[in-house]
Structure 1
C-alpha cells in the first residue's frame, strides 16, 4: 500500500497499486493520475503556485474540450439558439433531448469537471501549510482555488443536479483511513441543495480571500469573479434570492468594470482582457493553451457545430438588432455539405469565436451578463424605473447595440424584455439553456419549437460508466 500513486480526485481519477484489497479491484473509470497530489511530501510555496496555475492551464489543455467546445454545445445547442450542427451523434442526442446514459460527450465532461475539481482540492488542502509562502499570497491562492471549485461545481449542478461532493485529495491509504479513502473514491450523490451549499461556501471564501487585482490577464479567480458567479448562483438556486443577486451584482459593478464602446470589440481579437471582461481564458496559440475551439464553429472546410436557428435569426431581425446580429452570426455560401435547416447558398455560422489560428481568448464572464442579472433582480424587487431601476440597466446594454430604450414598464413586460435581451446579447456564449431552465421557460419554449421535452430531460444522466464503477451513484429520473 505504501507505493500508492496519489490521486487528484476520486472516481474520475485512476489508481495504481502494487497490492490492493478487493474493494479497489473495481477501480474508478478514468485514468488521470497526477503524482503532484502526493499528500505525504513537503508542499512548498512554489508547489502552491504551480497547483493553481495547473487549474487555469487545465481549462485550456487537458480539459479543453469542456471549455472550448462542450460549454457552448451544452449551453446553446440544447436551447433555441442553435442546432447541433456537424455530424456528431452524441451532440444530436443532446440537441434532441434523446440522451443516452452512455453519451460520450456527457461522460467526458463529467471527467473533465472532476479532474479540475481534484486539482483544486489539492491546492486548497495543502496550501495552508505550504513552506516558504507569504501569508497574504497563501490566502489568495486558497481564494483562487476556491473560486474555481465553486465555479466548476456550479457548472455541474446546472447540468446534472445533485452530484457527489469531494473536497479532499486522496491520501496515502493506511489501515487507519481505509473507510475515509473509500468514501472519497466511491462517494454517494448529494442533493442539489447540498451542492449549492458547497458552491456558496467556496465562493464566499473566494470573496474573502481571492485577489482583487488580475495581473497580466483576466484568467484569474478574483473577488469580482466570485461575486459574479454568486449573483448567478442566487438567480439559479430555487427559490431565487433576488436581494442576494442584486447585492453581488452591485459588488461586480463597483469593481470598476465597464462596457466596451462597441459590441464588435468583444470579438475582434484586438480588445482582449478588456474592461468588460470578468473571467477570460488567455489563449496564445501553439502547443499549450491554443484555442482550437474557434475552428469548431466557423469555416467552410467541414460542417461546424452550433448552427444558428431560424428562431434566433428571426428574433434579431424582428428587433432590428443588426449590431449584435452581425457580430454573432456570419452568413456564407456553402458548397461542401447540405443541411436540413438552411439553404446552403446563405448558411449561418455562430461568429463570436472567429479567429481560427488558436489565439482568440475565451470570455466566460463579462459585465453585460451581470448588468442584465441586476435588471432581473430589480424587477423582482419592484424597482422598475429608468433612472436607477431595471429599465436603466436594460437600456445600458441596449444603447451599445444602437437600440432605443425599452418600452417595457411593468414587471411582466420587463421579465419578457430582459429574457429577450439576454438571449440577443449573450447568444453563443453558453448561457441560454441555463437561463431557460432557471426561469422555468425551457419546456414551454422548446416544445413550442417542436421538441419533445419534460422535467426529466432538464438534467443530464449520470454517466453509466461511472455508475458501473460506483454503486453509490444514483441515476437521475427518466434515464
Structure 2
C-alpha cells in the first residue's frame, strides 16, 4: 500500500532561527480532511508541510546514493547498515522503507495542495500561482528520485485513499514524462531571484526559477539529453544567484553557503543528527560509526587529485583499530555545529553536469569545453589542472571529479547506474554485488499491503 502520512500542521520554516519543533510521527493512514486548507490563513502551514515532507526524504536520499555504492564499509551493529555495507540489501531494509514513505509523503501533500488550493477563495493570485508551482516541483522531484531508486513506481496523482491503495507500478518513461511536465509548469510560476541576492538562506530553502532549472539540468543529464543539460546548467551558472564558495572547507563546515541551491535545514530543537529513527546522518556516520568511509574512497580523497576536498573526511587515531580505518565523514555535524543541514543541489554540480554534457557532445577543450569546467572546481580545490583532451578520458575525469567534489551528497550510486558503470565498479568493490542492486526493492510493507504490488517486486528480491 502507498501509505499516507498523518501530519501535524504545526510545520516550521526550515532552517531559520525562529523554528519551532517539527512533529514527525510514525507513518499511518491519513484522512484527507486532517489536512486543513479552507481559508487563506491555512495556506502557509500546508505549504511548509510540503517542504517538511521533502526534508524527511533528505537523509534517505544520501543513504541511497552513497551507502548503496562503494563509499562505505560496515562498522557497526545495525542490520540496515550491514545490508548496505555488505551489498546484501533486502526489501525489509529500514532505509529502503524510509525513502519510499517520505517520497510519497511529499507527493501526497503536494497533491492535496494542487487539489485544494484552487478552490480556496481570497488567496492572492500571485500567492496561489507560486504555491501551486512549488507543489508541482516537489511532486516532480519526489517522483524523479523515486523512479531512479526503485524503477517503475506507482504514479499517485490524487489524495483518493481507496484508489491509491491498489495502484500498481507505472513505467519509468511515464513517470519521467510527468516529472518534466511538473518541472515545466513549476518553472512558469516560481519566483525569479535577482542576480546578487544576498538572502542565501531563503535562496536555498524556498524554490525559485533557478532551483527548478538546476533540477531540470540533472533531469536532462540522466536522460542523456546533453544539449538541454548544458543549456539548463549554464542558465543556473550564469544567473548569478548562486556563487562558488572560494574555500571548499566551508562546504563541509557551514550551512547555507552561497553555493547551496536546495538545502533542507534543522535547528537545535529538531536536529535529527542523533535520532536513529530519523536516519540522522551524524549519528550514523560519526556518533555510532555504523558505516565508515571505504578504504577505496579514502585513498581517492587523500590523493593529490582531490586537493582540499579531502576535508570531506577526517581521521582520528582513537577510532583506529581492527577493521576500523579511523576515518569519519565530516560533512554532517550535530545540532550545536554549523553543518547539520543536508544540501540536495548545489552550484558545483551544475559545473559537473555541464562538463559531462559538453564532453558527451565532443567539446572537450576551449573556453566552453568540458575541461574548463572541471578545472574551475579543481582550481578552487588547489588540485592539479586536467590536461587530457581525449573524450573517453575526459568522461572518466568527470566521474572522478564527481567523487572528489560530491562525496556523501547522495550521487554516487545514481551516477554509476545511469552511466552503465555500476557492474564494473561495484563487482570489483564487493564480492556480494549483484546487478539487481542497480535498483532498490519495493519496501516489503508496501508489497504486503498493496495487492497490486505483490507480483511486481523488482527482480531478485
Q: Shorter-normalised TM-score: what interval?
A: 0.7 to 0.9
Q: Is the 8 A contact 2:87 2:430 kept in 1?
A: no
Q: Which residue of 2 aligns with 1:276?
A: 259
Query: How has the CA–CA distance of structure 1 residues 183 and 355 changed in structure 2, closer, same or farther, with 3 Å as cutoff?
Result: closer
Question: TM-score under structure 2 normalisation?
Answer: 0.86
Q: Is the 8 A contact 1:294 1:358 kept in 2?
A: no
1:264 aligns with 2:253: no
Q: Distance in 2 between matches of 1:42 and 1:52?
A: 10
2:332 pairs with one of 353, 358, 379: 353
Q: How much has 1:291 moved relative to structure 2?
A: 4.9
1:365 aligns with 2:345: yes
Q: Distance in 2 between matches of 1:49 and 1:89?
A: 39
Matches within 5 A, 1:312-461: 312-325=297-310, 327-334=311-318, 339-342=322-325, 347-357=326-336, 360-461=340-441
Matches within 5 A, 1:101-250: 101-170=91-160, 182-213=162-193, 216-217=201-202, 218-237=204-223, 240-250=224-234
Q: Distance in 1 between matches of 2:216 and 2:119?
A: 28
Q: How much has 1:187 moved relative to structure 2?
A: 0.7
Q: Which residue of 2 aligns with 1:43?
A: 38
1:279 is paired with a residue whose SS is strand
Q: Distance in 1 between matches of 2:316 and 2:52?
A: 34
Q: How much has 1:150 moved relative to structure 2?
A: 1.1
Q: Distance in 2 between matches of 1:84 and 1:198?
A: 37
Q: Is the 8 A contact 1:77 1:84 kept in 2?
A: no
Q: Is the 8 A contact 1:87 1:303 kept in 2?
A: no
Q: How much has 1:58 moved relative to structure 2?
A: 3.4
1:296 pairs with one of 276, 280, 283: 283
Query: How has the CA–CA distance of structure 1 residues 402 and 260 changed in structure 2, closer, same or farther, with 3 Å as cutoff?
Result: same
Q: Is the 8 A contact 1:84 1:305 kept in 2?
A: yes
2:108 is paired with a residue whose SS is helix
- For structure 2, the residue ranges without an aligned partner over 5 or more in a row are 7-25, 275-279
Q: Distance in 2 between matches of 1:290 and 1:96?
A: 25
- For structure 1, the residue ranges without an aligned partner over 5 or more in a row are 1-9, 16-28, 171-180
Q: Which has the higher Rg, Structure 1 or Structure 2?
A: 1
Q: Is the 8 A contact 2:267 2:335 kept in 1?
A: no
Query: How has the CA–CA distance of structure 1 residues 244 and 88 changed in structure 2, closer, same or farther, with 3 Å as cutoff?
Result: same
Matches within 5 A, 1:49-88: 49-60=44-55, 63=56, 66-68=57-59, 70-88=60-78
Question: TM-score under structure 1 normalisation?
Answer: 0.83
Q: Which residue of 1 aligns with 2:460?
A: 478
Q: Distance in 1 between matches of 2:309 and 2:37?
A: 52
Q: Is the 8 A contact 2:436 2:460 kept in 1?
A: yes
Q: Is the 8 A contact 1:144 1:210 kept in 2?
A: yes
Q: Which residue of 1 aligns with 2:15?
A: none
Q: Distance in 1 between matches of 2:76 and 2:192?
A: 41
Query: How has the CA–CA distance of structure 1 residues 339 and 45 changed in structure 2, closer, same or farther, with 3 Å as cutoff?
Result: farther
Q: Distance in 2 between matches of 1:283 and 1:243?
A: 37
1:13 aligns with 2:4: yes
How many residues align structurally? Answer: 427
Q: Distance in 1 between matches of 2:231 and 2:238?
A: 11
